[in-house]
Structure 1
Amino acid sequence: MRVIALEEHFTAPHLAGRIDAALLRARGFQPRRVAPGAPNPMELAAEIGERRLALMDAAGIDLQVLSNTGPGPDLVPGPAGVALAAALNDHLAEAVARAPGRFAGFAVLPMASPADCAAELTRAVRALGFKGAMVNGTTDGRFLDHPAYDDLLAEAVALDVPIYIHPHLAPAPVREAYFGGLEAGAGRVLEAAGWGWHQETALQVLRLVLAGTLDRHPRLKLIIGHMGEMLPMMLARADEVFANDIEHLQRPISRAILEQVWITTSGIFTTPPFLAALQTFGIDRIMFSVDYPYAPNAKGRAFLDRVALAPDDMAKLAGGTAAALLRL
């Protein structure tokens, strides 16, 4: 059984270091607290070689699809951001070329320059062999349904590659209103992996439906992580409460999502959310992921080994669906 993990991250400190510290502060980046004796995730993310491969081998993971983590070109407007995106993609392509059977790539895009995103996606897919792109949260308060990103979405359709929507930090006004006034560590985690990341990614998807973006691009393929970012438990309620206010849409909300969105298990390794995802999205829409280096490969693999599925369904979850979607 081939095991593919597709929300797995890398960084390139020599490239990310180009970003002005003022831009990092404005976006809300804070030092990540690491438990005593534990490895620093950003140090693990920077290594795309023997150590990473050894950890994959120990967990029985055959292939990682890698994507940029941490500060990236979405923070940098203009030509500098476009150049940074290209440099990060070239860096990843070189790493993939050193171990082509073990690594694949999602492009990072210059989201602060929407008019340049489609061209970089095309280059990354056609010239570098990448399997799609990862978009991190909002950019300058803009969601993917903003008209400025319509050319990017159309190009993803034309290339027949998915866009992985990954969480990011909230814009400053949201951060202050929703997550402020708490002890610093508690507020930081509530804004991020403790809650805020997941609600924002779900909101991205819902906005793409409600804005009519998915109707305009019915062949657009999206991926979201973390067992569906809380959407599985909300699909039926969304259909019910929006029923009288979506005459402009061609499909019910749940149908649009279930037809165009795949989800991964990244970072969520307990049974109840998996069952909710399975009962709503179905086994053909769920793909295994770990969220390395923020979650350990061994923990993700232990969850996979606990899942009780028929052999054919297990093969889909472990890697078959990902292989088909990404043409791996």
Structure 2
Amino acid sequence: MMPQDPPRLIDFHSHYYDEGWLPLPVPQGTTGVARAWPMLTNIEAQLAAMDVAGIDAKVISAPASTIVSPVEQLPLILMERINDQIATLVDRYPDRLLGLATIDAFQGKAAAREVVRAIKTLHLRGICIDCSQGGHYLDANEARPVLEMAAELGITIFVHPVSPAGLTERLSHLGHTGTLLARGTENAASILSLLRSGILDKYPNLRIVLPMIGIASLFFSGIAEHEYRRADNWKGSSPAELRKNLYIDTMGFDIPTLRFAIDLLGPEHVLIGSDWPIMPITTRRRVDELLAILKLTEEQKAAILSGNTERLLTPLTSQ
């Protein structure tokens, strides 16, 4: 019997920025974005680096808050331009790239219409939204039309972190890790607002992916059980029960953290994601070594490497 080819490795959490979308000064200094800028804006260089690292494919996303500030709305015409370009890149490299539509979820019905166009006309595979905007989380009324449309189309939502004003500055003395802590805290708070809003009861097929830096939402959704049992302002089901709607990437690739996520959600809810090229690229060799340490079955490894991402990026209506 011929040996089977190893499962593909698909990086779910990976970014691209086209300088033509909204021309900005090239970032200076030693921030993550400044260091990543040459790679972030060059898709051919990204593909070449992926070849060296043994990464078979990546999911392109361009979060709105990397283009405008997290208190600004993304102009609709720019949202459309970004999604058109992402679709073009996916068409150009169909074996290497998958695309998430950039959606400003806080623009109500106009944003929901762009979700329909991006999925049905451009054939993108899901949407990427910011976790908050101007102090509003995903339980805000403004975000409801986008969530409703995602549920209707059966598509996955990647909830991306933003840098919250105030907390980001207070934690800046901790360096890049402090920035990640602030962003992860904002992400977790938005996920918790979603869990307690009743939205996931109304739309139980919603599939929400969060980055590993938002893992506190998993922890606190368990702690919140006591509040759920006695509070009259908790609109939905048990927060621990609603974690079944959540998926998490491997950003950071820390073994104890990965064990926690796998134990809590199950390996079918964990997917490879790195935040590259903002974070350093992770090689196939390192990923295989980490999965071996976790003592997963071959089926579970294949799911985390690519199977979960492929399933999440196939609309429920097509399954």
Tell me which residue corresponds to 2:249. Answer: 264
Question: Which SS does the other structure have where 1:142 is aligned?
Answer: coil
2:30 to 29, 33, 48: 33
Of 219, 229, 234, the match for 2:215: 229
Of 40, 50, 70, the residue aligned with 1:45 is: 40
Cα distance change, pair 63–242 in 1 and its aligned pair in 2 (3 A):
same
| Aligned with residue 298 of structure 1, among 267, 271, 282 | 282
Cα contact 1:233–1:276 (8 A) shared by 2: no
2:37 aligned partner, one-letter code? M
Give the corresponding residue for 1:26. none
* Aligned equivalents of 1:146, 1:96: Cα separation in 2: 32
Q: 1:7 to 1:246 in 2, by over 3 A?
A: farther
- Offset of 1:191 from its aligned partner? 5.4
Q: Secondary structure at the match of 2:248?
A: strand
Cα distance in 2 between the residues matched to 1:155 and 1:181: 37
| Distance across 1 between alignment mates of 2:229 and 2:273 | 34
Distance across 2 between alignment mates of 1:265 and 1:181: 26
Structure 1 counterpart of 2:67, from 66, 71, 86: 71
- Cα drift, residue 253 of structure 1: 0.4
Q: Of 230, 235, 242, which residue of structure 2 is paired with 1:244? A: 230
Which of 111, 118, 139 is equivalent to 1:117? 111
Alpha-carbon offset, residue 265 of structure 1? 0.6
Code of the residue aligned with 1:41 in structure 2: it is A
SS in structure 1 opposite 2:137? coil
Flag the 1:213–1:15 CA change in 2: closer, same or farther, 3 A: same
State whether residues 3 and 63 of structure 1, in contact with CA within 8 Å, keep that contact through their aligned partners in structure 2. Answer: yes
Question: Cα 1:32–1:213, aligned 2, differ >3 Å: closer, same or farther?
Answer: farther
Aligned residues of 1:227 and 1:264 also touching (Cα < 8 A): no
Question: Distance in 1 between the 2:89 and 2:234 partners?
Answer: 46
Query: Could you list the per-position Cα deviations for residues 270-328 of structure 1 after superposition, in whole angstroms to 9, with x for gaps in the alignment?
Result: 11101111110111111111211022223575144322221111001100111112129
Map of 1:106 onto structure 2:
100
Distance (whole Å) between structure 2 residues aligned to residue 56 and residue 111 of structure 1: 31
Q: Which amino acid aligns with 2:142?
A: A
What TM-score, normalized by structure 2, do the two folds share?
Answer: 0.86
Do the aligned residues in 1 keep the contact of 2:104 with 2:130 (CA within 8 Å)?
no
| TM-score (norm. length: structure 1) | 0.84
Q: Look up the match of 1:320.
A: 307
Which residue of 253, 270, 273 maps to 2:239? 253
Amino acid at match of 1:221: R
Of residues 4, 15, 21, the one that matches 2:21 is 15
Give yes or no for the alignment of 1:214 onto 2:200.
yes
Identity of aligned residues (%): 22
Offset, 1:105: 0.7
Q: How many angstroms does 1:44 deviate by?
A: 0.9
Choose the corresponding residue for 2:273, options 284, 289, 309: 289
Change (3 A) 1:75 1:109: farther
2:178 and 2:213 map into 1 onto residues whose CA distance is 18
Q: Give, in angstroms, the shift of residue 216 of structure 1.
A: 2.0
C-alpha deviations, 1:190-235, integer Å up to 9, x for none?
A: 6521x11111111111101112121222221111011652234434
Task: Name the counterpart of 2:3.
Answer: none
Check whether the contact 1:106–1:133 (CA below 8 A) recurs between aligned residues.
yes
Amino acid at match of 1:15: W
Q: How many residues align?
A: 303
Aligned CA RMSD, in angstroms, stands at 2.7
In structure 2, the gaps of 5 or more residues are 1-6
Residues of 1 paired with 2:287 and 2:259: CA distance? 13
Indicate the larger mover: 300-309 or 207-216.
300-309
Secondary structure of the corresponding residue to residue 165 of structure 1: strand
Conserved? CA contact 2:15–2:62, under 8 Å: yes
- Counterpart for residue 27 of structure 1: none
Structure 1 residues 212, 232: closer, same or farther in 2, change over 3 A? closer
Contact 1:10 1:67 survives alignment (8 Å): yes
